[in-house]
Amino acid sequence: DSGVTQTPKHLITATGQRVTLRCSPRSGDLSVYWYQQSLDQGLQFLIQYYNGEERAKGNILERFSAQQFPDLHSELNLSSLELGDSALYFCASSVSVAAGGSHNEQFFGPGTRLTVL
Amino acid sequence: EDKVVQSPLSLVVHEGDTVTLNCSYEVTNFRSLLWYKQEKKAPTFLFMLTSSGIEKKSGRLSSILDKKELFSILNITATQTGDSAVYLCAVDDSGGGADGLTFGKGTHLIIQP
């Protein structure tokens, strides 16, 4: 158990709908990362938040957005869902983002499996 | 664009065998290389490598990085059925985790009894 929690575990919804995935980082971790894992693309970085602020963006669609709240939990919002959005969505956390190169391993939550029908 | 290539894609061996998994990478500003083990759920952290030639070891698993040739290997000795998993290699290219990790597609390892 990494200490990162994600809800829900599974989510089935229809095309065109909107869903919210929730993540609580490990105690003390300030950075939260969202990843999408599909069979053909592997693990793809979506977005990172550090202490409530967006820090970096990866391959995140405009239909997707995220935020990190004062208690450091994060939510990933997926809207206008398409069949191709079906995937495992992972949240990971790390201690901090340190300017100048401190190396922080990321610890992954159990993931949310999203199925779009 | 950063790139991580893992080989082989899939590997089936018998219990007790030793396996070597490969990871080669191309990144703009290398900071670290990480190995994760993914069974049914979340990737679990194995190693972080930042310096060439220094072996990291944990039980039957070990890993080493070659920053000149831009690759890393993960060795598993005396394999057990519980080692069956997808092993993921990732690189951090920005320092301090300011960007997400770039992952390879993984090596699917199957250990047969």
Are A58 and B98 an interchain contact pair (Cβ–Cβ within 8 Å)?
no
∠ Cα B51 B56 A56 (to 5°): 55
What mean pLDDT comes out for the span B2-8?
Answer: 91
Are B100 and A48 an interchain contact pair (Cβ–Cβ within 8 Å)?
yes
pLDDT, tens only, B6-57: 999 999 999 999 999 999 999 888 888 999 999 988 999 999 998 888 899 9
Report residue A62 as tokens: 């405009």
Chain A CB contacts of B100 under 8 Å are 33, 35, 45-48, 56, 58
Residue of A nearest to B48 (CA): A105
- Tell how strand B61-66 and strand B71-76 pair up: antiparallel
**Which of B3, B33, B40, B45 would you mutate first to test chain A, the one with the most A CBs within 10 A?**
B45
Report residue B31 as tokens: 């900071």
Q: 3-class SS at A15?
A: coil
pLDDT, tens only, B59-107: 999 999 998 999 999 999 999 999 999 999 999 886 444 567 899 999 9
Residue of B nearest to A89 (CA): B42
